[in-house]
């Protein structure tokens, strides 16, 4: 069997570990061969494909990014499924492992279930918002980077007696903000699932200040205060018409300063959360998911993805993973309230 591997959508730490795990297991256990599909679905549509050998994945598990490149090319563009069939036949590709997030897996599910293409999936997103898997690789690294940023901001905030606002990623869900905020001891945690108003935010800031602390606010990029109607987007739209989120931290800082009288600065982590080496947890999880994806190909489990439940890697339909997002539940939000302010 010749298996094509692609990485699609946003990059994140751990992608190379998935590729390495899949190639090493496929070659060593099953004697399969592999093909590197460049830049996601684009490579499969434009026949940008190259052999992928064991030597190509040597030592890449600790590297961030993806050796295959990535893009946001839609799988139904440029000839769609028919073109993919042509390319796969010409390249003798028997199966495709698609590594990606919600959009990638939705496309992969449709290709497998509706078009009959031999595609399996590996879930990837730093936001941890995919359903039917407890965690996605990349998330642990992102929350670790955000937590380190909080720790660093705390020392400068205390030195200058300031309030600091840290904006982290999280378009629709607030897992990074919640986890890093709890780990770093933030005084206000703001996430898309549970809007609060400016007055509540300032109350948390004042409470921390009155106790002699330099207030720290962690906000997910997709958070919308009760006082606003839409998400803050300073950069407008990307070439696909998708809103480029970012700027909620800069929006909140002057409001906090005006209402509390405290000098307030904002920091946006942005793509720092998606770059660099993955944590040990993400390396192990990604490697296990890559190996499980090869088993799915071996068993012709088309339309399924490798998933984490507890500490076990299981198989679930990709369609179920993209059916809905995994939001922060009410009980986790209730739990953190005692720590705020």
Q: Which residues are annotated as a binding site for substrate?
A: 125-127, 162, 169-171, 221, 265, 271-274
HSE-up (13 A, CA, CB side) for residue 196:
17
Q: Is the pLDDT of residue 258 over 70?
A: yes
Q: Is the pLDDT of residue 233 over 90?
A: no
Q: Which residues are annotated as a binding site for ATP?
A: 10, 72-73, 101-104
**What are the structural domains of the chain?**
2-125+132-137+278-323 (3.40.50.450), 139-275 (3.40.50.460)
Q: Cα separation of 76 and 98, whole Å?
A: 15
pLDDT for 243 = 73
pLDDT digit string (tens) for 44-56? 999 999 999 999 9
pLDDT for 246 = 83
In terms of Cβ atoms closer than 10 Å to its own Cβ (0-12, 13-18, 19+), residue 41 is buried
Asked if 279 and 267 touch (Cβ cutoff 8 Å), the reply is no
For residue 272, give the DSSP letter. G
Confidence of residue 236 (pLDDT cuts 50, 70, 90): confident
pLDDT for 252 = 97
Return the higher-pLDDT residue of 240 and 35: 35
Give alpha helix (H) positions in the chain: 15-25, 41-46, 80-90, 102-113, 139-160, 175-184, 198-210, 248-260, 280-298, 318-321, 330-336
Question: Averaged over 232-242, what is the pLDDT?
Answer: 71
pLDDT for 196 = 96
Phi then psi for residue 318, to 5 deg, are -60, -35
Catalytic one among 39, 56, 94, 127? 127
Residue 158 in tokens: 């205390």
Residue 149 in tokens: 């940023």
Confidence of residue 323 (pLDDT cuts 50, 70, 90): confident
Q: Is the pLDDT of residue 240 over 70?
A: no
pLDDT for 67 = 96
Q: Which of 233, 269, 239, 235 is nearest to 71 (CA)?
A: 239
Mean pLDDT taken over the chain: 95
Q: Which of 222, 243, 229, 237 is nearest to 167 (CA)?
A: 222
Q: pTM for the whole thing?
A: 0.93
The 3-state secondary structure of 273-315 reads HHCCCCCHHHHHHHHHHHHHHHHHHHCCCCCEEEEEECCEEEE
pLDDT for 239 = 66
pLDDT digit string (tens) for 164-214? 999 999 999 999 999 999 999 999 999 999 999 999 999 999 999 999 999
pLDDT for 164 = 98
Q: Which of 6, 43, 2, 7 is nearest to 26 (CA)?
A: 2
Question: Averaged over 21-25, what is the pLDDT?
Answer: 98
Q: Cα separation of 340 and 265, whole Å?
A: 19
pLDDT digit string (tens) for 272-319? 998 999 999 999 999 999 999 999 999 999 999 999 999 999 999 999
113 is catalytic: no
- Residue 243 CB neighbour total at 10 angstroms: 15
């Amino acid at each position: 069997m010749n298996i094509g591997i692609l990485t699609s959508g946003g990059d994140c730490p751990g992608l190379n570990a998935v590729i390495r795990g899949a190639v090493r297991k496929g070659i060593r256990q099953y004697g399969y061969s592999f093909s590197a599909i460049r830049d996601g679905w684009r490579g499969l549509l434009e026949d940008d494909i190259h052999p992928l050998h064991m030597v190509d994945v040597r030592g890449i598990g600790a590297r961030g990014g993806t050796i295959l490149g990535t893009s946001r090319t839609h799988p139904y563009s440029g000839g769609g499924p028919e073109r993919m069939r042509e390319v796969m036949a010409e390249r003798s590709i028997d199966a495709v492992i698609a590594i990606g997030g919600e959009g990638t897996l939705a496309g992969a599910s449709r290709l497998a279930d509706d078009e009959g293409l031999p595609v399996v999936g590996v879930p990837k997103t730093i936001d941890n918002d995919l359903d039917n898997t407890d965690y996605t690789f990349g998330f642990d690294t992102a929350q670790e980077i955000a937590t380190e940023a909080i720790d660093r901001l705390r020392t400068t905030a205390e030195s200058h007696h300031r309030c600091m606002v840290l904006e982290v990623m999280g378009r629709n869900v607030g897992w990074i903000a919640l986890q890093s905020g709890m780990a770093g001891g933030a005084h206000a945690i703001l996430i898309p699932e549970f809007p609060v108003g400016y007055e509540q935010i300032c109350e948390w800031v004042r409470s921390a200040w009155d106790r002699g602390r330099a207030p720290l606010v962690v906000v997910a990029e997709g958070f919308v205060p009760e006082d606003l109607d839409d998400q803050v987007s300073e950069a407008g739209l990307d070439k696909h018409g998708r809103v480029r989120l970012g700027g909620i931290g800069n929006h909140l800082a002057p409001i906090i300063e005006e209402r509390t009288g405290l000098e307030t600065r904002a920091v946006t982590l942005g793509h720092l959360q998606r770059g660099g080496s993955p944590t040990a947890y993400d390396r192990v999880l990604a490697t296990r998911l890559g190996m499980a994806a090869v088993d799915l190909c071996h068993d012709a489990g088309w339309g399924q993805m490798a998933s984490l439940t507890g500490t076990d890697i299981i198989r679930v339909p990709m369609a179920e993973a993209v059916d809905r997002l995994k939001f922060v539940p009410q009980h986790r939000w209730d739990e953190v309230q005692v720590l705020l302010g």
